[in-house]
Amino acid sequence: MAQSSTFDPQTVALLGLGEAGSAIARGLCGEGGWREAAPNRQVIAIDIALGEGARGQAMAARAEALELPAVRDYTDALSSADLVISVVTGEDAPVAARMACAWLRPGTIYADFNAITGPQVKAVASELTPAGIDFVDVAVMGSFMAMGHRIPLVLAGPRAGDLADFAEAIGAPAKVLSDGIGDASAVKILRSILMKGIEALSVEFLVAARRQGLVDQVLDNLGDVDALGLAKFVKVMAITHLTHAKRRMEEIEKAMQNLDETGVPALMSEAIRRSHQRTVDAGLDPAEIADVDLDTAIRILDEQVVDPRN
């Protein structure tokens, strides 16, 4: 690993040794990792499930194999940490922050990697910032299982730049989004609306294709999306939705008939039909929606199609 970093912590504390924590631990403590590049570097770990049941015993074994000091309790060992990486769960994130805060020194960077919403991140940060601890909101853009510790990160918070230096030094691409705590997590959660929707549609689409013996054929006919790229494709669809909602609603109704003929429940397709029907029912002025840009299209959808009271 390259080691050129402006922010150069001597002790890193991991809160959580599940899939994410273990992946980061391997990157920091494995052969050729961050810890062995300098004699004074240390990594410690805390997980309240350590040694408890089969999962906890597996955690303990991983920690032992990495020669990683790991304990179950939040102790004064945390007072030596320059960087804390919280990879517990979204549900446990506030409790972990509260328990760690009792031991941390002012000026310590606390990086919260948990998948929670922007307001929830701000609530976690409120457990720490009054004590002078520097909170960084971290959104993970990928899978630890697939990518290990070299996972792309989006960061927000006043010291996001320092954490980005460290992340880049250990091989994790990092993008600083803003100084606003909660912004990075909000982007991830908003992105999840699109990505999880695509995931669910993929299930409906591919099962129907399999039952008709056309999986390879339909996948080979997505070249228009490939040519545009996903971000541009999403923009184009939002803009053209204004003028083509009725035609596309009729097309999805035909697709639903096909699903019914194939025996696949049209869970996602029915939601799509309702969404298009909502736009049709809005009765948009054709002159207002002609040749609009993305910002205008989103404003019209927000103010005239999506009920602002909900």
- Domains of the chain, by residue range, sit at 11-187, 222-305
State the pLDDT at residue 308: 60
State the pLDDT at residue 274: 97
Contacts of residue 246, Cβ cutoff 8 Å, sequence gap at least 6 = 276, 280
Of the listed ranges 4-8, 14-18, 269-273, the one predicted with least confidence: 4-8
Q: What are 37-94's pLDDT values in tens digits?
A: 998 999 999 999 988 889 999 999 999 999 999 999 999 999 999 999 999 988 999 9
pLDDT band at 3 (very low <50, low <70, confident <90, very high): very low
CATH placement of domain 11-187: 3.40.50.720
User: Read out DSSP for 132-164?
Assistant: T-EEEEEEE-S-HHHHTT---EEEESTTHHHHH
Task: Specify burial of residue 106 (Cβ count, 10 A radius: 0-12, 13-18, 19+).
Answer: exposed
Q: What are 155-195's pLDDT values in tens digits?
A: 999 999 999 999 999 999 999 999 999 999 999 999 999 99
State the pTM of this model: 0.83
Closest residue by Cα to residue 14 from 54, 44, 55, 38: 44
The answer to whether the beta carbons of residues 240 and 224 sit under 8 Å apart is no
User: What is the mean pLDDT of the segment spanning 273-301?
Assistant: 96
Residue 309 has pLDDT above 80, yes or no: no
210 φ, ψ to 5°? -60, -45
State the pLDDT at residue 15: 97
Q: What are 203-240's pLDDT values in tens digits?
A: 999 999 999 999 999 999 999 999 999 999 999 999 99
How far apart CA 238 and CA 248 sit, in angstroms, is: 12
State the pLDDT at residue 310: 53
How far apart CA 69 and CA 50 sit, in angstroms, is: 11
Mean pLDDT across the chain: 93
The answer to whether the beta carbons of residues 132 and 159 sit under 8 Å apart is no
Helix ranges restricted to H, 220-300: 223-228, 230-262, 267-281, 286-289, 294-300
